[in-house]
Amino acid sequence: MKNSMKPKTLLLFSHGFGITYTNQTKIVPMKNIDVGLVAPKGSGTSVRKLFLDKKGINSSYAVFQDITGEAEAKIQAFGIAIGSGYLFKTSFEKEVYSDLTGERGVLMGALAGIIEAQYEVLRDNGHSPSEAFNETVEELTQSLVPLVGENGMDWMYANCSTTAQRGALDWAPKFKKATLSVFKSLYSEVKNGNEAKRTIDKNGDINYRKDLEKELEELGTREIWQAGKIVRSLRS
């Protein structure tokens, strides 16, 4: 990036990956510019939709390099400009460590894994695809998650049915115990750079696009997600 920007201008990132794993990405910013980060906690589609709805989305921000003495103010202003409802300060490292852990963990990997595990158990015990999907995914996404987002998990425990309340309180520690070691391993792989290397190597493979299409096709043809298409089409 040498000589690619005017002195004292701001180089802004939306993710900490490039700077944190600089040994692998070879991204080295010039020494005479401000460098910062504004990372919306959601997809680009969500950022745009919430901006148009005048609601905004939470974002983290970080200062990596402050040459002008005004980097933080400029970064915060950019965060407000894209419609961030709330800005919280972090570092490039912490942003990418938490983000990669979240993507592979609760937000995507872990969620997909436990959803398929429960669906499989219900199907193996004679429940129909529709029933297994509704109890595993539909109720989660259409009822519970919006309420958790609005009120918190503590509110859910206090306001759900007595059967759900007792069951959740008794089984939550078991699920935590079963997955805690996986999350610890995941965070370690993110922090030591192995996960970054794996991602870069995969995306850099000449056959990656074709291989990815096969993976996504296999995922989309699984019974659970085919059942989901039918269930969603029946929503009023």
Residues assigned a catalytic role: 15
Q: Residue length, the chain? A: 236
Structure tokens at 112: 């997909």
Q: Please, are residues 53 and 77 in contact by the beta-carbon 8 Å criterion?
A: no
Strands across the sheet with 10-13, in order?
10-13, 34-40, 57-65, 84-89
Q: d(Cα 87, Cα 59) in Å, to the nearest integer?
A: 5
Q: d(Cα 81, Cα 79) in Å, to the nearest integer?
A: 5
- Number of H helices and E strands in the chain, helices first, is 14, 4
Q: Please, are residues 34 and 70 in contact by the beta-carbon 8 Å criterion?
A: yes
Cα angle 131, 135, 141; round to 5: 125
Q: d(Cα 134, Cα 197) in Å, to the nearest integer?
A: 38
Q: d(Cα 25, Cα 96) in Å, to the nearest integer?
A: 14
Q: d(Cα 10, Cα 232) in Å, to the nearest integer?
A: 45
